Amino acid sequence: MTRSFKADIEILRLFNQKTDELLKSSFVQSWDGKGAGILHLTGGPFRVVREGGPTSDSLKAFLLTFRLFVSDRDGISLRLIRKLYDVLPVTPDCRSQIANEIVRLDQYLDEASPLIVNGSQIVRRDLLLTWLYGVEAHLNRDQRERLKQWTVEDDVSPFFAYEFEVIVLRVLNSISAIASINGSAIGQLTEQQTSQ
């Protein structure tokens, strides 16, 4: 019995469609066009104030789609795409490109961020997931508790928000690279489908 690649092709196309939405989002455009804004440190009392940069609404709209790539729930997460490539009949080069991109991303996420709280440097993956699910996309109790432990109050939250956005954009670079590889895989699978 021959395998139908229709469902696999649809997953890869959906991944690419959602990637395109992210790349065209006003959040990404604001970072590309105007920059991240400026962080000001003020005294009496100490506060960090951010001027410029993306709006809260543009970030929230971006994250609505971005979280599809982080959570397995909708079938296009980076983890599930990596697993899909393990079984797709694509060229070894295509498969290794996906594996290499995800390894590079995992290495980046497992490195320390520049943020240090109570003598401990926060790992990027922890910041990504804590800020995403504790502040922006959900109000997860465990993640919000972690924020309290980090003592993220209004006076320093712009530092955390800025670093979160930097991490999100780096993840987007990997998502975009994977979408490009998906284009090649879709071509290979379509060719195999039509030759059956």
CB 101 within 8 A of CB 177: yes
Domain-by-domain residue ranges, the chain?
6-184
Residue 3 identity: R
* Residue-level pLDDT at 52: 61
- Residue 156: closest CA among 20, 34, 47: 47
Count of residues in the chain: 196
Q: Bigger pLDDT: 3 or 130?
A: 130
What is the per-residue pLDDT across 156-181, written as a single tens digit (0 to 9) for each? 677 788 888 889 999 999 999 999 99
Q: What is the mean pLDDT of residues 16-34?
A: 86
Bridge-based pairing of strands 47-51 and 38-42 is antiparallel
What pLDDT is stored for residue 40 in this prediction? 42
CB 46 within 8 A of CB 55: no
The pTM of this model reads 0.85
Confidence category of residue 111, pLDDT binned at 50, 70, 90: very high
User: What is residue 135's DSSP assignment?
Assistant: I
